[in-house]
Structure 1
């Protein structure tokens, strides 16, 4: 079942017309949230990011769109799919209602909630090889729209095709200043000694929920020093570790970039702290 504006519908039922603005213009936002046994991980952060993003895109926020309302709608969808007791991947998509060409005739919105089961209830470090390469055919813009989790992700799609064609697990994206910004599906962190570095939002990276919370963990730690600064491609082969973060995988270590192979020691030490923070919200 999927939840369309509060109505539970069969997954094979047609919902949209050809005039849907998410389809025609990418005029939509989405949140991917991990749910485990009644808890939506970092739900408050997801909710406030969504509200802020809707304001930036001039979408009209319905009066009933409270954090509690959306949480109940998500849980209603999970229950309808008999997924209450396991780990679930939730996707909440918000899009402007149809009408108009590039300029919409309304700023009112609709939403869809989709849920899928997952194997692991918590974030785990995967041990398989995970090789990445730079994607330099197209560049990420250094602006606020790049920070949003919108459905305008054609650059990421083309980078994903490039990775698949060339046998890479992922690609690292570069901005218009030729600085490394993020991966196809998450934020990037570098580890060298006790220093952990990640690009600033001003470089055009996604304003990631796990990025935000992991930065708090690192900043509050006595073991590591957090640095938020631009990353040159030349740095990538000089660090001890590289890892990617997102709300579904948590922390994904990179095992190889070109000739350099990386450790996973810091990633493994941080994933436990991330799980603990997720459980308490």
Structure 2
């Protein structure tokens, strides 16, 4: 588990930018996740040396294998991704098969919506591991439908060692009507879920506790600023999900491990 990390920037901007915060890493890591819009004076310094190749960025894996004839704009995730492909990837990487389907379906859907983005399902898998161990943090389980239960909640964002974000959802998502808490396998702040929430399983609802919905929301969010094909563009996108170099490196390392696990040779 990563060392405990916090940022004072959330406290400084808690009222002005609370509505744009993305999420919070799982409780032991205490990783505050902010949208780039939350931090207008912060950017990844161009002069900072990039980390070693081993934790550089997410290399392009073999593409997710879509079911023939499936329409990414309509099909639920479970019907979009080839089951045998997902089982093979799960065996090679250790990612739960149901999570593989969610990440791959989000990749396919965004590739259909924004072909130039090139996000790669391994990037989503890297984030999913760092945020919640693919929906298994704290004894939670990911069932065959894609729902994570019990809910995975980050700590109360009350300013005590973490950022301070007053309640934005009346407790409807996080069960707290005083302070926000990050929710689900990809740890979305409630107000950000209101803006970016997606319906990846095509059931008519947007639920941050459902891995199909959360993965698609994360993919669309990361792709919002353009193609991720270069190292710098990829790192800048993940930086907006969580503005910490260690976080970016952890996601890159895990994403590259997954890519190597399924790459020929």
TM-score class, shorter: under 0.3
Relative to its length, the structure with more helix (as a share) is 2
User: When the two structures are superposed, what TM-score results if normalisation uses the length of structure 2?
Assistant: 0.25
The structure that has the greater radius of gyration is 1
Relative to its length, the structure with more strand (as a share) is 1
Higher relative contact order (CA 8 A, sep 6+): 2
